[in-house]
Structure 1
Amino acid sequence: MKKVTAEIIAIGSELLGASKVDTNSLFITKHLNKLGIEVSFKTVVGDNWESLKNAFETAINRVDIVISTGGLGPTEDDFTKEVVAELCKVSLKLDEKILENLKERFKVRGIAFPENSKKMALIPENAIPIPNGPGAAPGIFLECNGKTIILLPGVPREMQYMIENFVIERLNKKYKLPQRFSISMNFASIPEAIIDNTLKEIDFEENGITYAILASLRKVQVILSGFDKEKVEEFSKKVISKFPDVFFGYGDIFLENAVLDLLIEKNKTVAFAESCTGGWLGKLITDIPGSSKAFLGGIVSYSNEAKINILNVPEKTIEKFGAVSAQTAFFMANNVRKLFNSDFGIGITGVAGPSQSEKKPAGLVYIAASSKEKTVVKKYNFRGNREMVRQQSTSRAFDLLRKEFLK
């Protein structure tokens, strides 16, 4: 069976700058891959008529499906439909029903209908408008020169609504492809290169399976995909067997998810004492619904006074060893556990950077995990900027608790 290919075009001059990142294409790719559609190209183009026309023209000539995000609004630099209509040699027609819906939307909000918003009701001839549940501008589904063109808004929640409620069903019905099955596995505290070198020894290709490695400061994710579900499941077990100690779960999760699940499962509680991470550890775990079942609270003891007066870290310990030391981390973890009467305590103290502190280098971090029975303290020398050091610190803290107390 001939493979079906797609290209995603992200539209907007802001995406070519240094502050705005295209996240829509990741969401679209995930859903297309589930349908067995291969995303062959991703293009980012600014709000320029000729550039946009060239991007669509190139895409139409090399893939089966072209999906764009952005450029469907009412402003002068929103001309995606106009460019596509010109390329496909069709006219734009006013859809009276869409226009009425737009006017009603403004009326309900008590706002006079702007004349320029009328252009959102212009639909290319023979195209199917895609309803926009959470927003105003409809999407477009169009057949052009034997290719499928789908125009979506750039607003993530609107784009996601259209993908999940219209696009997937329409593409599935049209192409009737055998759907790929994927499994995502997450690993902590291991370099991407080690995983990659090991996976090269497994015969994925001969068994119709592809794999991808996505590495970040907080985890390494391995994704296996194939059309045979049983094969993918079989090979996922092979992958995990290679790294059993650092595997912490399936799906799109991070260490805090896995640790929270283990705490709840074992009916245990935890409290945090943070210095260089400034409450980030507590933020990550409380981002998860239900975290109150296991997380009792935390102290951000950024200053030496807070460590001494709130956490009861002995002043002599800080004078002798410094605030950034194994000894201080030891007391932070133990005393926050006692303060909250939790089963476990975590203490983090370090130099986030960019400059050194107490004549200690940026990136030096001590993390302690404590229970009534024992306390484990680890020393780390992280690389990177301030945010990178803090990210790595939180992940290693969760992993230390998982490995030493929850396995």
Structure 2
Amino acid sequence: MNAEIIAIGSELLLGQIIDTNSASIAKSLAENGIELVHTTTVGDDLQRMKETINAAVHRSEIVITTGGLGPTEDDLTREAVAQVTQHPLTFQPHLMEQIEALFKRRGFQMAENNRKQAYIPEAAVPIENPKGTAPGFIVETSKGVILSIPGVPSEMEYLMGNTVIPFLRKRFNLQRQIIRYRVLRACGLGESGIGHQIKDLMKESKNPSVGTLASIGDIRIRITAKGDTSGEVSNLIQKMEREIRGRLGILIYGVDNETLHGNIATELERLDRTVSIIETFTGGIISQKLASTGIQSFVQGTVLSSETSQRAFLGLSPEEFNSLRDDPKRFVELLAKKSRNGLRSDLGLAMFARIAEEQKKGEYRVETYYSLSNSTGNENQEHSIGGELWTVRERAAIIALDFLRKYLLKMTQSA
């Protein structure tokens, strides 16, 4: 059973509003075992709308349009569907009564152009809309159906849940199928690197299916399974999760909506450890993420953006400071140690960076250094990161947090 979504409105193409409707409709379809094969956005141009709808009805059994059912001259979904299906628009008095009643309840005078909204293609089944002035409609095609619903998100969501999905289940005799997904979250390796390790699963596994989605420093691996029972679906997901965890190991830091800093906070409290942070390059990103968790284990974050502030923090003469900065590993070690000792925290985490070169205008290669001070000494890392400075800062902050996470993991394993 294939479905398509057509989001209608020039404002979508101009970037004036974001199309959240297609995502919401897609989720509803997936939850009911209906495979979405295309989503399309088309502007308020009658000819292009007709071409888009005509192509969709020849490809798919279910075509859902959203938007273009308002009262103005550029609301053309009714006309487009009528011409594609060769069913002329006809006036529906009972729909007109509902629209007039809604205006009266809300204390507004109905304009004459709202009369347009009571027209739907001949032989169409009306989708009555108690939430707004734009009724939808259902038209049968040679291959399946077209369902046209309003673009106002609250109205669309109401009609999807109360009319569209119940109609589709009955019309296509859909059996209730359970669809669930689980997201594994990973960092420490890019999307291409993680994709390489699980590429066979992504390519060959159909149920469950496996896909990835990347953002800065965070890779999400989605496992989606279908089945007739909850137990069947859970078993499919668990089996695939074990396989992926076996391949990626400690790269995986969490699941679903968990965050890297949230899980670090949980581990710090579980291990009864405190941490203080020194940032010279990331501008407080690391500290802000930990502070947002509200844990008492995060003692303090200190941002030392200038050389003056760094020298004052370390209590060094200009000569001593300049000599030390020539050795970034020793420099970041001293920052971490000073933070831990000065704030009496169990751990002191510091990061320092130097711009190595400008690769092209606005993009740089940055050498970043990290040190974690504990009661027995320091552990260090260094990474070379390239890109615009804001992305480098974000990635450096995630590297620092992941460094801390892996240290806490070692503590757990050795306990």
**TM over 0.5, shorter chain:** yes
Measure how far apart 1:400 and its partner are.
Answer: 0.9
- CA distance, structure 2, for counterparts of residue 402 and residue 315 of structure 1: 35
Contact 1:120 1:137 in 2 (8 A): no
Distance in 2 separating the partners of 1:331 and 1:170 = 68
Paired residues of 1:273 and 1:301 also in contact (CA < 8 A): yes
Please tell me whether the aligned partners of residues 352 and 390 of structure 1 are also in contact (alpha carbons under 8 angstroms).
no
Q: Which residue of 2 aligns with 1:67?
A: 64
TM-superposed deviation, 1:177? 4.6
Deviation at 1:241, TM superposition (A): 0.8
Asked if 2 retains the 8 angstrom alpha-carbon contact of 1:219 and 1:254, the reply is no
Q: Provide the C-alpha distance between the structure 1 equivalents of 2:16 and 2:344, rounded to a whole number of angstroms.
A: 43
Distance 1:173 1:96 in 2: 28
**Corresponding residue for residue 306 of structure 1:** 309
1:96 positional shift = 3.9
Post-superposition shift, 1:404?
1.2
Name the amino acid aligned to 2:188. Answer: S
Amino acid at match of 1:260: A
Separation in structure 1 between the aligned mates of residue 333 and residue 28 of structure 2, nearest angstrom: 46
2:266 counterpart of 1:261: yes
The separation in 1 between residues aligned to 2:323 and 2:71, in whole angstroms, is: 66
Contact persistence 2:187–2:218 (CA under 8 A)? yes
Counterpart of 1:276, as a letter, is F
Instruction: Give the share of equivalent positions with the same residue, in percent.
Output: 26
Indicate if the aligned counterparts of 2:69 and 2:76 stay in contact, CA closer than 8 A: yes
Q: 1:127 to 1:368 in 2, by over 3 A?
A: farther
Secondary structure, aligned partner of 1:190: coil
How many Å apart are 1:200 and its aligned residue? 4.5
Q: Which residue number corresponds to residue 387 of structure 1?
A: 390
Cα displacement (A) at 1:58: 1.6
Query: Which structure shows the bigger proportion of residues in strand conformation?
Result: 2
Matching of residue 8 in structure 1 with residue 5 in structure 2: yes
CA distance in 2 between partners of 1:92 and 1:328 (Å): 79
Instruction: In structure 1, give the amino acid aligned to 2:151.
Output: P
Query: Does the 8 Å contact 1:36/1:179 carry over to 2?
Result: yes
In the alignment, the residues of structure 1 paired with residue 357 and residue 163 of structure 2 have an alpha-carbon distance, to the nearest angstrom, of: 48
Cα 1:207–1:144 change in 2 (3 A) is: closer
Relative to structure 1, the CA distance from residue 233 to residue 328 in structure 2 (aligned partners, 3 Å threshold; closer, same or farther) is same
Q: How do 1:224-263 residues align onto structure 2 when only pairs under 5 Å count?
A: 224-227=223-226, 228-229=232-233, 230-263=235-268
Tell me the distance in 2 between the aligned counterparts of 1:313 and 1:282: 23
Residues 43-192 of structure 1: pairs in structure 2 closer than 5 A: 43-72=40-69, 76-88=73-85, 89=87, 90-91=89-90, 93=92, 94-101=95-102, 104=105, 115=111, 118=114, 122=118, 124=120, 126-129=125-128, 132=131, 140=136, 142-145=138-141, 146-153=144-151, 171=168, 175-192=174-191
TM superposition shift of 1:147 = 1.4
CA distance in structure 1 between the aligned counterparts of 2:357 and 2:68, rounded to whole angstroms? 40
1:278 has 2:277 as partner = no
Matched position secondary structure for 2:33 = coil
Q: In 1, are the aligned partners of 2:262 and 2:290 still within 8 Å (CA)?
A: yes
- Rounded Cα–Cα distance in structure 2 between residues aligned with 1:330 and 1:406: 21
User: Match for 2:29 among 28, 32, 52?
Assistant: 32
Letter in 1 for 2:138: L
Mapping for residues 321-400 of structure 1, pairs under 5 Å: 321-322=324-325, 325-337=328-340, 342-350=345-353, 355=358, 362-400=365-403
> 1:336 and 1:61 mapped to 2: Cα distance?
67
Which residue matches 1:223?
222
Per-residue CA deviations over 1:308-361 (Å, capped at 9, x if unaligned) read 44x4474656523549933443344444555665544433333579948xxx95
In structure 1, give the amino acid aligned to 2:58.
Answer: N
Following the alignment from structure 1 to structure 2, what is the Cα–Cα distance between the partners of residues 367 and 169? 56
- TM-score by structure 2 length? 0.75
Distance change >3 Å, CA 173–CA 338, structure 1 → 2? farther
SS at match of 2:4: strand
SS of 1:235's partner is helix
- Taking the aligned partners of 1:338 and 1:98, their CA distance within structure 2 comes to 71
> Aligned to 2:63, what secondary structure does the other structure show?
strand
CA separation of 1:401 and 1:87: change in aligned 2, threshold 3 A: same
Residues 235 and 361 of structure 1, relative CA distance in 2, 3 Å threshold = closer
CA contact (8 A) 1:190 1:246 kept: yes
1:45 maps to a residue whose letter is: V
Instruction: From the CA coordinates, give the structure whose radius of gyration is larger.
Output: 2
Q: Write the letter of the residue equivalent to 1:144.
A: E
Distance 1:87 1:385, change over 3 A: same
Task: Give ranges in structure 1 of 5+ residues lacking alignment.
Answer: none
Whole-Å separation in 2 of the counterparts to 1:315 and 1:158: 68
Query: Counterpart amino acid of 1:244?
Result: G
How many equivalent pairs are there?
389
Conservation of the 8 A alpha-carbon contact between 2:364 and 2:386: no
Write the distance in 1 (CA, Å) between the matches of 2:46 and 2:357: 44
Report deviation, 1:54: 1.9
Match of 2:294 among 285, 291, 295: 291
RMSD: 4.1
- 1:203 Cα deviation from its structure 2 partner: 10
Query: Which residue does the alignment assign to 1:210?
Result: 209
Distance 1:164 1:353 in 2: 56
Q: Residues 92-117 of structure 1: CA distance to partner in whole angstroms, max 9, x if unpaired?
A: 65444455445655x5xxxx768489
Output the CA distance in 1 between the equivalents of 2:383 and 2:277.
18
Partners of 2:382 and 2:23 lie apart in 1 by: 36
